[in-house]
A and B are shown apart, each in its own frame.
Chain A
Amino acid sequence: MILRAKNIEFYYDSNQKFQIPDISLDAGDQMLVIGKSGSGKTTILNIIAGLLKPKSGSVTIDGTDIYSLKGSQLDKFRGKNIGIIFQKPHILAPLTVEENLQLANFFVRENTQMIEPLLKELGIFDKKKARINTLSEGEAQRVSIARALVNKPKLILADEPTASLDDENAAAVVRLLQTQAKKYNAALIIVTHDQRVKDHIPNLIIIGGQL
């Protein structure tokens, strides 16, 4: 079991608690979390990623209860085991594409030798010296995927990766995430309100009521 989220309780305002189902995924499993805007999708993702401590319950990744980790231990654990892709590709603008990936390696003190193969696979190898502001939106999205994968995570979390893309590109990105996750035998969770993604991943949970 790679991910197990159990009895998670969370609220910003105690009158409005989020309904968060238990989640368990094995290596290579894929899951979709669907819900309308404001339903708490990003919140759930943050909790699973170790970015937001739940009020109660536990998140166990590859046997480690992540919220029992202290300070920088959790940061290192996250860097090593969880790859996060944001809705907008948040690439560090002062760095080149390649340096963005090197930074991910640096923070976990490992050279995973993945930079070149990933950039090649994602078709952005010729952009490795480029800056974010010279990339197209699709290219930037692929860079952020490459960066999420460069530390060979066991769990990949994607927050609305298709929101700003047209049908064709949305499908391509989802397919890309799926093949990469399969290839490195990582569990994949995609969080979205985008109905188009449903066709690709049958295993889904819906939060915050029916859409």
Chain B
Amino acid sequence: MNMIKLSWKYLIAKPLSTGLNILLLGLGLAIITVLILIQDQFENKMTKDAEGIDLVVGAKGSPLQLILSSVYHIDFPTGNIDLKDAMALSKNRLVKNIIPLGLGDNYQGYRIVGTNHDYLALYSATFSQGNAWEKPFEVVLGHEVAEKIGLKTGNTFIGSHGIGSSSHEHDAHPYVITGVLAPMGNVLDKLILTSIESVWYTHDEEHDHATHEAPVAKKGFPITDQDREVTSLLIQYRNPIAAVQLPRFINSKSALQAASPSFEISRLFELLGIGVKLIQGLAIVIIIIAGLGIFIALFNSLKERKYDLAVMRTLGASSWQLFLHIVLEGVILTIMGAVVGIAIGHLFLVILVMQNDQGAISTLSAAVFLKEELWILGYAVIVGILASLIPAWNAYQTDIAKQLTKA
């Protein structure tokens, strides 16, 4: 027998009240857990995916949409821009590097992104199989794409038009897989990468076999005399002055729109932050109610228990041991609530991710444990102590003789 076991016995003697209190506290803490997990992963992922991209240029529209579609590949593109405008921009002295993107196709919901090898370099991509594309219609699969659709180097598939999975298929020109990327833990995992040329040629009516065999551009833009378009451009600044001048220049002078990922993300988080704060407030209210519930349960049980406490004193327990006995009951309760809460939080995330196997939520992982979750445990212990302090003090002051004479 020890103090913890003693408190534990009293807790399981009233399983309904104990269970309800654990569950209520668990729910409140589960919400906090989910918020912490999502917030941490979103922020981490979003910052990581945007690393090295100073500016995104695309068709006019919502700047946030431009960022979401071109950096994170989760929204629809704002439209296409003229290759000539894009190439003109690449000659600007403020631009250090420019990576064109051609979007618009998918395979089973995974986006096919036409780009050049700089895009791979941007994320320091490494291959688990094969190599990068060299010719039109050669593609490289992100790690997760390869895993989910079960294709490997040498296999072919036919892309569909549009960026959602329900669009019609292109009838000609299968893509050939030349490589599969190693798991990157970023946006590349969910992309199918190919050359700009591939994206162009799939949409062409007539097919010219000579060009289809020519090597594609590995840096910069493809050389062509035709009127072509790209979707957007990822730009790296040459110097800090560019951050001031370039966006203003692009937005005022041309038919193009420039958007800064870091600016748009922080704006997005600000917007989300209000929602997060609301949910957080709700969670705190639930936790306070749970704390009150524990307080009431302990306080009420004390009435019936005064006698037990007096008996313990006659057996040699000190007042402080009675105090500890009640506090331990509160703390055990809340620690269990915290464990249940963290478990529910992770379980909720598992279910959430399972139901969304593509898109922003699918990049989340439930198997991540953060040190903030230890804080949850800490908060729970504090709630337990606060809720049990008054009942424990009551127990401390039990007048044994009076109590024993009463019955």
Residues in A lying within 8 Å of B, measured CB to CB: 42-43, 46, 49, 51-52, 71-72, 75-76, 78-80, 82, 84, 86, 88, 90, 92-95, 99, 102-108, 147, 151
Contacts and interface: CB of A to CB of B under 8 A. Distances in A.
Contact of A106 (B2, B401, B405): B2
A49 B319 contact: no
Interface of B: 1-2, 6, 9-10, 12-13, 307-308, 311-321, 400-401, 404-405, 407
Nearest to B14: A94
Given A51-B404, A75-B318, A86-B404, A94 B10 contact: yes
Given A51-B401, A102-B1, A71 B319 contact: yes
**Sorted from nearest, which 4 A-B pairs have the closest CB atoms?**
A79-B316, A72-B318, A94-B13, A107-B316
Contacts of B307: 90
Given A51-B401, A92-B308, A107-B321, A151 B316 contact: yes
Nearest to A91: B311
Contacts of B315: 79, 103-104, 107-108, 147, 151
Interface centre among B12, B315, B407 (most CB of A within 10 A): B315
Contacts of B6: 95, 103, 106
Nearest to B304: A93
Contact of A90 (B13, B311, B401): B311
A129 to B, nearest CB: 13
Contacts of A92: 308, 311-312
Contacts of B1: 99, 102-103, 105-106
Contacts of A46: 400-401, 404-405
A101 B172 CA distance: 85
B405 A43 contact: yes
Tell me whether chain A's interface is mostly helix, strand or loop, or mixed: helix
Contacts of B405: 42-43, 46
Contacts of B319: 71-72, 75
A78 to B, nearest CB: 6
B16 to A, nearest CB: 14
A82 B400 CA distance: 15
A94 B314 CA distance: 18
Contacts of A102: 1
14 contacts: A43-B405, A46-B404, A71-B318, A71-B319, A72-B319, A72-B320, A79-B314, A79-B315, A88-B407, A92-B311, A94-B9, A94-B10, A94-B12, A99-B1
Contacts of A84: 314
Nearest to A104: B315
Contacts of A71: 318-319
Nearest to A85: B314
Nearest to B7: A94
A97 to B, nearest CB: 13
Contacts of A88: 407
B256 to A, nearest CB: 74
Nearest to A95: B9
A200 B105 CA distance: 102
B9 A49 contact: no
A19 to B, nearest CB: 18
A91 to B, nearest CB: 8
A199 B320 CA distance: 43
